[in-house]
Amino acid sequence: MKLSTTTDLNDQVAVVTGASQGLGKAVAIALGMNGATVVCLARNAAKLADTVKEIEAAGGKAEAVSCDVTDRTAAAAAIQGAKDTHGRLDILINNAGITRDKLMRGMSDEEWDDVIATNLTSCFVCCRAAAGIMRRSKYGRIINMASISGLIGNPGQANYSASKAGMIGLTRTLSKELISRGVTVNAVAPGFIASEMTAELGEVVLAEAKKRIPAKRLGEAEDVAAAVLFLASKDAGYITGQTLVVDGGIVS
């Protein structure tokens, strides 16, 4: 990974959910490259191991924790475990997410529930666990990976759009609850970013998507990682409750 954006995260500990691939992996690597010890959470242990190897190859420090964040007890325990193991918790990136796209009239209860549980409920559970730790240390950066789908909607994504809109509302509320304790809470809302998830859309859909993007290209994982790095930095201490859109100009 090549990043021109840098910040000093030395001695800080970060937890990244959904760190086994895509944006979560890119963000975890970026945090590690900038000095943070990164606790990588996801269900796929083999892919997590690859993320850790890449962080270590770049000179960073990382730990893999196999965890299904839809298991509320396990998710909260993983957050507390990061603090217990490393002595502190400074940064939380809620990135775990799935899609189960289908028009609303054909969407099953299970497809709705799975997306809400993975994308939104896990975010709440991890925020609640991290906030207790960060409040006591009077410092923290929580960054929730939303989506432009949560701002403008998208046909066939009632569940996904609702989950991401919920993350944005959760972000705004928690920012007001936690800023007095030195904890900022912000969201990043990517647009169409080249990743495993967008690749599943197929070339025809992606070609149409590019026509809607004023920048005329898909975003790269590094574009999102740079935004996260800034919000995770000490320089962003007076920024909270915001949603930073990284979409090449779709939302304006």
Please say if 160 is a catalytic residue. yes
75-79: Cβ within 8 A, 24+ apart: 75/17, 75/41, 75/122, 75/125, 75/126, 75/129, 76/125, 76/126, 76/128, 76/129, 78/15, 78/39, 78/41, 79/15, 79/126, 79/129, 79/130, 79/133
Structure tokens at 217: 């290209």
Catalytic residue among 160, 198, 224, 229: 160
Distance (Å, rounded) from C-alpha 17 to C-alpha 22? 11
Distance (Å, rounded) from C-alpha 30 to C-alpha 93? 12
**Letter for the amino acid at 180?**
S
CA 220-126-96 angle, to 5 degrees, is 30
Distance (Å, rounded) from C-alpha 5 to C-alpha 59? 17
Q: What string of H, E and C letters represents the secondary structure of 21-90?
A: CHHHHHHHHHHHHCCCEEEEEECCHHHHHHHHHHHHHCCCEEEEEECCCCCHHHHHHHHHHHHHHHCCCC
Q: Is-contact 186 242, C-beta < 8 A?
A: yes
Tokens 């209860």 locate to 109
Please give the DSSP secondary-structure letter assigned to residue 20.
T
Q: Cite the active site residues.
A: 160
